[in-house]
Amino acid sequence: MLKTSLLSIPTLAVTLAAGLAFAAPAAAQDTIRVGAPLPLTGPLSPEGLKQQRGYDLWAETVNEAGGIDVGGTKMPVEIVYVDYESNTPRAVQSAERLITEDRVSFLFSPFGSGAAKAASSVSERYGIPTIAATASSESVYDQGYQFLFGTFTPNSTLTTPLTEIVVGADEEIKTVAIYARNDLFPLAIAKEMEASAAANDLEVISFDEYAIGTLDHASALTLMRQRQPDWVFATGYINDLILMRRQMSELGIHPKVLTMIAGPAYKEFIEAGGPLAEHISSAAWWHPSVTYDGEDIFGSTADYVAAFEAAYDAIPDYAEASASAAGAILQLAIEKAGTIDPQAVRDTLADLDVTTFYGPVKFGETGQIVSLEPPVFQIQDGEAKAIFPEAIKQADLVFGGIE
C-alpha cells in the first residue's frame, strides 16, 4: 500500500488497481491535493523512491506546522502518488488520471526529462501548475508551455565547469570516450559533454549509445578499452552505472578521469560500488554542503539536512532535495498568491524570485530555473566531496586511481 502524505487527518487507505494508486477522496476544498506520478517499481524505482522521500518530508513538515497559509486560512497538504512502473506511456496516463479523476490542484512531474516532457502536455491542456523536480533537458521546456516549471538548470551547467576543471589541471587529458544511455536526459547530457569537449580542444574518440534495459556492456566496453581514452564520460541511471562500473573493472579499463552522471551522487551508488566508486567524478544540481538561508518552510540548508537526517537517518542527495524544493517552491507560490486558483499560482511561480534551502529560485521564460550554480564533486574516501564551486569546495580533483 502506498502512503498519502496527510498527517492532520486520519490515515487514508490507498488501494492498488491496474498498477495505479487510488487515494481516498479528501473533503472538497479543505485540502490541497498534489499529484505525483512516480516510478515506484521497475528499473527506475531507486530514483522514484528518492523523490517520494523528498515530497513526503515537505508534506509532513507543512502539515506539522498546520498547513499552507492560503489567504489567512491554513490548509493541509495531501500528496496522491501513482506508480507508473517505470513506463513512460503509463506516466502520461497517470498524470491525466490524477487531474481528471483524483482532482489534484497541482502536479509534480514524473521522474526524468523523458517522462516529464511526455506528461507535460497533459498538465498544460488542463491548466494545472506543474513542477518538474528531475528534468534538466532544455527540450522539456522549449515547447512553449506556460504551466511547467523545473528545478534543474540546463545540462550544460554540469558539463561545462567539469570540463574546465579537467582541462585546467596539470594533467595531460587529450581524448574522451562517451558512453550514453539512449534516453532523453542521459543522451542530452552526453551531447552537452561532446560540445564541452570540442569547446576545450578535447578529441571525442567515440560516442556510443546503449539501449534502455541493457544488462551487458561488455562489447561496447571492450571497444572502449582498445581506444584507451584519457577520460571516460558515461551516462545513465544508478542501476546502469553500477553494472557498467563493475564491468569496466573486469575488463581493465583505467582512464585518468572517469565521470558518471547520474548516480555517484547517491549514497546507494557509493555503497554498492565500494572501492570501485573511488575517484569517480560527477555533477549534480545540489549538494548538502551548500549554505543557503531560505525563505521557505525548511529555512537554511543545514536545517533541511538535519530534518532529512531525523526522518530517514541519511544525508539527502540532489534528487531528494530537489523533490523537497519542488514542494517548498509550490508552497511559497500559493502563499504569495493567497489562493489555490491554478492561473494565479502559475503567474506567481513565473514571477518568483526567492532564496530557498535549495538555492536561489528564479525561472526563465521557458519555466526552467536559471538561478542555480550546480556543484561538481568526486568520490574520495567513500564520500562525495565538492570540487566546485569555490564557495563550497571540499577537495581538489584527483586524477587516476580508477581500478
CATH number at residue 231: 3.40.50.2300
Count of the separate structural domains present in the chain: 2
| Mean predicted confidence (pLDDT) in 374-401 | 92
Residues 109 and 160 in one domain: no
Q: Tell me the per-residue pLDDT of 158-176, one tens digit each, with 9 for 90 and over.
A: 999 999 999 999 899 999 9
The answer to whether residue 3 sits within a structural domain is no
Categorise residue 103: left if φ over 0, alpha if ψ from -120 to 50, beta otherwise: left
Q: Tell me the per-residue pLDDT of 49-62, one tens digit each, with 9 for 90 and over.
A: 999 999 999 999 99
pLDDT at 403: 83
∠ Cα 108 114 115 (to 5°): 40
Helix, strand, coil proportions of the chain in percent (round to 5)?
40, 20, 40
The answer to whether residue 1 sits within a structural domain is no
- For residue 147, report the phi and psi dihedrals to the nearest 5 degrees: -110, 5
Joined together, the cell numbers standing for residue 310 give: 531525523
pLDDT at 106: 98
The answer to whether residue 103 sits within a structural domain is yes
Q: pTM here?
A: 0.82
| Mean predicted confidence (pLDDT) in 276-299 | 94
Cα dihedral 262, 267, 272, 276 sign: positive
pLDDT at 289: 83
Residue 2: pLDDT over 70:
no
Sequence-separated (6 or more) residues with CB below 8 Å from residue 92:
115, 118, 119, 121, 122
d(Cα 238, Cα 84) in Å, to the nearest integer? 19
The answer to whether residue 403 sits within a structural domain is no
Q: Tell me the per-residue pLDDT of 41-52, one tens digit each, with 9 for 90 and over.
A: 999 999 999 999
C-alpha 329, offset from chain centre: 15
The answer to whether residue 5 sits within a structural domain is no
| Mean predicted confidence (pLDDT) in 201-206 | 97
Residues 239 and 385 in one domain: yes
Say if CB 35 and CB 107 are below 8 A apart.
yes
| Mean predicted confidence (pLDDT) in 279-296 | 93
Residue 264: pLDDT over 80:
yes
Residue 96: pLDDT over 90:
yes
pLDDT at 29: 62
Residues 175 and 188 in one domain: yes
Residues 179 and 251 in one domain: yes
DSSP 55-98: HHHHHHHHHHTTSEEETTEEE-EEEEEEE-TT-HHHHHHHHHHH
| E strand or H helix that includes residue 17 | strand 14-17
Residues 353 and 386 in one domain: no
Residues 330 and 253 in one domain: no
Residues 47 and 81 in one domain: yes
Sequence-separated (6 or more) residues with CB below 8 Å from residue 201:
167
Q: Which domain holds residue 380?
A: 156-284+375-392
Residues 108 and 228 in one domain: no
Amino acid at 191: K
Say if CB 55 and CB 311 are below 8 A apart.
no
Residues 97 and 138 in one domain: yes
Residue 241: pLDDT over 80:
yes
Residue 60's closest CA among 240, 310, 367?
Answer: 310
20-23 and 130-132 strand pairing: unpaired
Residues 36 and 170 in one domain: no
Residues 146 and 162 in one domain: no
- For residue 197, report the phi and psi dihedrals to the nearest 5 degrees: -65, -45
Say if CB 142 and CB 366 are below 8 A apart.
yes
